[in-house]
Chain A
Amino acid sequence: MKRERPRLRDRMSKPRGGFAGFRSRLRSRGKLDDETWDELEETLLLADVGAPMTAMLLEQVKARAAAEKVRDADALPALLEEAIAEALHAGADRSLRRAASGPSAWVLVGVNGVGKTTTIAKLAAREVDDGRRVLLAAADTFRAAAADQLVHWAERLGVEIVRAQEGADPGSVAFDALEASVSRGVDVVLVDTAGRLHTKTNLMEELKKVLRIVERTPGALQEVLLVLDATTGQNGLTQARQFTEAAGVTGVVLTKLDGTAKGGIVLAIEAELGVPVKLVGLGEAAEDLVDFDPAEFAAALVGADEANEETG
């Protein structure tokens, strides 16, 4: 029944990004010198890891290299992989939370254009595959035709949907969706919200209101998922901060990881905010939404197990 899911490192390492090139350059260099560290720094920065996090990771790798008396540059990727996996709280619980009884509401939030609606469709497909009853709540009443987009998915997946007119109160959509879910015995309610820049106070207030309405059904609100585009740079951390403060984000969905973008900003997000990445989007197809695996992600970033590839 279940569709084959792609592996993160297979998708991320194609085409070869900076890290793969870094690997082969290291191999040709051999000894550890300043240039090696510069190159390592540059490669992390190119993956959008950000200057502060890069400095922290480099320090850790340096300390470890010194402690273990590493002289060969070839040993660095493994050390870096370890440091990255640690920054990612390797042991964190990344499963999606479910209510003990009654519907589980997962609310998707994020700035404009990150792929919230598409992620909802993929999530719905996953849940339907697992035999659960799913309802979509089209609470993005702002973007023109956003609800139409979701209706299209609901029809394709054969799931229920609650929608309202464009410009309607998103809170009322959430209210109707929760009420319908309780009475119809729905397992998972996926709430799509309008994209909003985290700097717009009134829109963040509107989001809070939607969440308050979901919370009126006791035990229903299980996940507030921040959808983050992997091409996002350092502003991703600011987004995560603001959405966490306003909406109590419980997890991150990293989308569009199928290009050459690495989404390195999630390292800073996990380190600073402790919000775990739960899912990653690796392509257009429904099965391309997969669970996040820190070790896989670290390996894909560093490219430690890749054979003699050319400079990327």
Chain B
Amino acid sequence: MFDALSDRFDGIFKKLRGKGKLSDADVDAVAREIRLALLEADVHVAVVKRFVSEIKERAVGEEVTKSLTPGQQVIKIVHDELVAVLGGATGKLKGGSATPTVVMLAGLQGSGKTTVAAKLARHLEKEGKRVLLVAADLQRPAAVEQLRVLGERAGVPVFSEATDPVAVARAGVEEARRLGRNVVVLDTAGRIQIDADLMDELARMRDAVKPDDALLVLDAMTGQEAVNVAQTFAATLPLTGVVLTKLDGDARGGAALSLKEVTGLPIVFAGTGEKLDAFEAFHPDRMASRILGMGDVLTLIEKAEETFDVEQAARTEEKMRKGEFTLEDFLEQMQQMKKMGPIQNIIGMLPGMPKELRDAEIDEGELGRVEAIIRSMTPAERRDTHLINGSRRARIAAGSGRTTAQVNAVLKQFAGVQKMMKQLTKGGKKGRRGMQMPGMPGLS
């Protein structure tokens, strides 16, 4: 997934290089890819449309500052916007003052309500609450039995009776009061939102128990239909939030964004596995990266922003253009790179790196040895490698614990890099802003 997307972006980035401001055309090109990424993630078509046009408005004319490339700047804008839309308080129920408080779960068949009921009960017990699970799904054969088994595993009592769902719900709350439990988690039958009878039943349950929280349980794999589902359930129940399930799969989960946009409901919890404790507060930032299918690039942008000194980058760029790039600058760049993490990871994160290089085994030790050689030089030697004669080479070799031949190899490779840079920067007045990536000696 990431490979395909980063390769696609690479083509655009190439065209965008060397520009200080985002033009209409730049933004259009990236917007097309963003649109596809969002559609592929199952974000609702109408939401995609609105989102992309907003992004375009915001991005055009934006100064490209600290980012790696203008294209990535746009992606950053998209990501931030996604986080903003998805964000809000998570992991918290609204709750109420009456005892017991009632949490009602609803959703389509197979969205994972019964599992969520048990997980939520366990989660609340861990917070010190005393929970009663109420099984009001009398529709699906053995659903009550399923909740009993899960309740036992979670160490939470389960109430049900063979009457009707509304009566079970009402009796469940009574039972909780009698047992002194302070939270009721009410599991309901899965229902399709166009089934008027079942939606009416849901409304009667609502009236019977007056839930403090009503959560819509939604499968992260849901497609365009998510919006219809959310709208219809929200029209029947006073929904207070959403639980997104099956996030341990590889669905991009764009439905989350559609839901937020259309209903404004907070996404409270995420189901992340089969086990009862695979249940956590929802993370908007992770979800944003996931929807874009490009978590790695964003991580890289963030890391670069954290670690990269803009002033220094500008100085380096100036030097490169003038052909004054020295081993001292190279060493500085190596330090910057190291701050961002293992080289292998960084290369993996970079769009446009040839596959061979992405898969290549990179010997971090070798880089360390190159560094040792450079560090064994005097500052004067680093600034001007022509100073380095035979006896200096022998001294550097001894100082770094390498052979003279290895010192020669580094010097030769660096001379090659310098030559290449002069050629690259000769034509254009202004190089690509941001991080420069000279060829690195020591990479095999």
Partners in one complex: yes
- Given A234-B42, A256-B192, A259-B193, check contact A148 B221 (CB 8 Å): no
CB distance from B380 to the nearest CB of A (A): 57
For B143-177 the 0/1 string (1 means CB < 8 A from A) is 10110111001000000000000000000000000
- Complex Cα gap A15–B145 (Å): 34
- Hey, which chain A residues are within 8 Å of B150, CB to CB? 144
Cβ-neighbour of B192 out of A47, A148, A152, A259 (below 8 A): A259
Is B109 in contact with chain A by the CB < 8 A criterion? Answer: yes
Cβ-neighbour of A113 out of B112, B146, B148, B248 (below 8 A): B112
- Complex Cα gap A113–B225 (Å): 16
Is B417 in contact with chain A by the CB < 8 A criterion? Answer: no
Please determine whether A260 and B142 come into contact, CB atoms closer than 8 angstroms: no
Pick the interface stretch among A73-81, A182-190, A225-233, A270-278: A225-233
Please give the residue numbers on chain A whose beta carbons come within 8 Å of chain B beta carbons, in ascending order.
14-15, 42, 45-48, 50-51, 111-115, 142-146, 148-149, 151-153, 166, 197-200, 229, 231-236, 238-239, 256, 258-261, 265
Please determine whether B223 and A144 come into contact, CB atoms closer than 8 angstroms: no
By beta carbon, the residue of chain A nearest B220 is A235
- Given A112-B112, A113-B110, A143-B146, check contact A235 B194 (CB 8 Å): no
- Hey, which chain A residues are within 8 Å of B36, CB to CB? 51
Main secondary structure of the interface of A (DSSP, over half): loop
Cβ-neighbour of B194 out of A15, A46, A114, A146 (below 8 A): A15
Please determine whether A234 and B252 come into contact, CB atoms closer than 8 angstroms: yes
Task: For chain B, residues 352 to 403, give those with C-beta under 8 angstroms from any C-beta of chain A.
Answer: none
Please determine whether A145 and B250 come into contact, CB atoms closer than 8 angstroms: no
Cβ-neighbour of A153 out of B141, B221, B224 (below 8 A): B141
- Given A111-B221, A234-B252, A259-B194, check contact A45 B149 (CB 8 Å): no
- Complex Cα gap A148–B150 (Å): 14
Cβ-neighbour of A260 out of B145, B153, B228, B251 (below 8 A): B228
Q: A234-B251, A239-B221 are in contact. List 11 more A-B contacts (CB 8 A).
A: A14-B194, A48-B223, A50-B39, A51-B36, A113-B111, A143-B146, A229-B221, A233-B222, A235-B42, A235-B252, A256-B109
- Hey, which chain A residues are within 8 Å of B187, CB to CB? none
Please determine whether B149 and A166 come into contact, CB atoms closer than 8 angstroms: yes
By beta carbon, the residue of chain A nearest B227 is A46
Supply 30 A–B pairs (Cβ within 8 Å), ascending by A: A46-B45, A46-B224, A111-B221, A112-B112, A112-B246, A113-B109, A143-B146, A144-B146, A144-B153, A146-B146, A148-B145, A149-B143, A151-B142, A153-B141, A166-B149, A197-B246, A197-B248, A197-B249, A199-B249, A231-B108, A231-B219, A231-B225, A233-B224, A233-B251, A233-B254, A235-B249, A236-B223, A259-B192, A259-B193, A261-B224
- Complex Cα gap A142–B36 (Å): 37
Please determine whether B39 and A199 come into contact, CB atoms closer than 8 angstroms: no
- Given A51-B40, A259-B194, check contact A114 B110 (CB 8 Å): yes
- Hey, which chain A residues are within 8 Å of B40, CB to CB? 50-51, 234
Please determine whether A232 and B223 come into contact, CB atoms closer than 8 angstroms: yes
- Hey, which chain A residues are within 8 Å of B146, CB to CB? 143-146, 148-149
Please determine whether B194 and A111 come into contact, CB atoms closer than 8 angstroms: no
Please determine whether B223 and A233 come into contact, CB atoms closer than 8 angstroms: yes
Please determine whether B255 and A233 come into contact, CB atoms closer than 8 angstroms: yes
Is B140 in contact with chain A by the CB < 8 A criterion? Answer: yes
- Complex Cα gap A115–B108 (Å): 11
Please determine whether A231 and B222 come into contact, CB atoms closer than 8 angstroms: yes
- Complex Cα gap A234–B228 (Å): 17
- Hey, which chain B residues are within 8 Å of A46, CB to CB? 44-45, 224
CB distance from A119 to the nearest CB of B (A): 11
- Hey, which chain A residues are within 8 Å of B141, CB to CB? 148-149, 152-153
- Complex Cα gap A152–B225 (Å): 31
A148, A232, A234, A258 interface centre (most CB from chain B within 10 Å):
A234
- Complex Cα gap A146–B115 (Å): 13
- Hey, which chain A residues are within 8 Å of B143, CB to CB? 145, 149
Please give the residue numbers on chain B whose beta carbons come within 8 Å of chain A beta carbons, in ascending order.
36, 39-42, 44-45, 108-112, 140-143, 145-146, 148-150, 153, 192-194, 219, 221-226, 228-229, 246, 248-252, 254-255, 274
- Hey, which chain B residues are within 8 Å of A149, CB to CB? 140-143, 146
Cβ-neighbour of A235 out of B142, B226, B229, B251 (below 8 A): B251
- Hey, which chain A residues are within 8 Å of B250, CB to CB? 197-199, 235, 238
Give the top 8 A-B pairs by smallest Cβ distance, nearest first. Answer: A233-B223, A113-B110, A233-B42, A144-B149, A152-B141, A148-B142, A145-B146, A149-B142
A113, A146, A166, A260 interface centre (most CB from chain B within 10 Å):
A113
- Given A112-B246, A115-B109, A234-B41, check contact A261 B145 (CB 8 Å): no
Please determine whether B142 and A233 come into contact, CB atoms closer than 8 angstroms: no
Please determine whether B224 and A45 come into contact, CB atoms closer than 8 angstroms: yes
CB distance from B140 to the nearest CB of A (A): 7
- Given A197-B248, A233-B251, A259-B194, check contact A113 B145 (CB 8 Å): no
Please determine whether A232 and B228 come into contact, CB atoms closer than 8 angstroms: no
- Complex Cα gap A47–B149 (Å): 38
- Given A197-B248, A197-B249, check contact A232 B222 (CB 8 Å): yes
By beta carbon, the residue of chain B nearest A43 is B45
- Given A45-B224, A145-B149, A236-B221, check contact A111 B249 (CB 8 Å): yes
- Complex Cα gap A153–B142 (Å): 10
- Hey, which chain B residues are within 8 Å of A146, CB to CB? 142, 146
- Complex Cα gap A146–B44 (Å): 33
CB distance from A48 to the nearest CB of B (A): 4
Please determine whether A198 and B225 come into contact, CB atoms closer than 8 angstroms: no
- Hey, which chain A residues are within 8 Å of B254, CB to CB? 233
- Hey, which chain A residues are within 8 Å of B248, CB to CB? 197, 199-200
- Hey, which chain B residues are within 8 Å of A42, CB to CB? 45
- Complex Cα gap A261–B44 (Å): 13
- Complex Cα gap A260–B338 (Å): 53
By beta carbon, the residue of chain B nearest A233 is B223
- Hey, which chain B residues are within 8 Å of A258, CB to CB? 192, 194
- Complex Cα gap A152–B146 (Å): 13
- Hey, which chain B residues are within 8 Å of A113, CB to CB? 109-112, 219, 246
Please determine whether A144 and B145 come into contact, CB atoms closer than 8 angstroms: yes
- Complex Cα gap A260–B227 (Å): 11
B36, B110, B153 interface centre (most CB from chain A within 10 Å):
B110
B36, B192, B225, B255 interface centre (most CB from chain A within 10 Å):
B225
A15, A45, A200, A235 interface centre (most CB from chain B within 10 Å):
A235
By beta carbon, the residue of chain B nearest A51 is B39
CB distance from B10 to the nearest CB of A (A): 19
Cβ-neighbour of B223 out of A15, A197, A239, A261 (below 8 A): A261
- Complex Cα gap A199–B248 (Å): 8
- Complex Cα gap A261–B282 (Å): 26
Please determine whether A261 and B39 come into contact, CB atoms closer than 8 angstroms: no
- Hey, which chain A residues are within 8 Å of B42, CB to CB? 48, 233-235
CB distance from A34 to the nearest CB of B (A): 15
CB distance from B321 to the nearest CB of A (A): 42
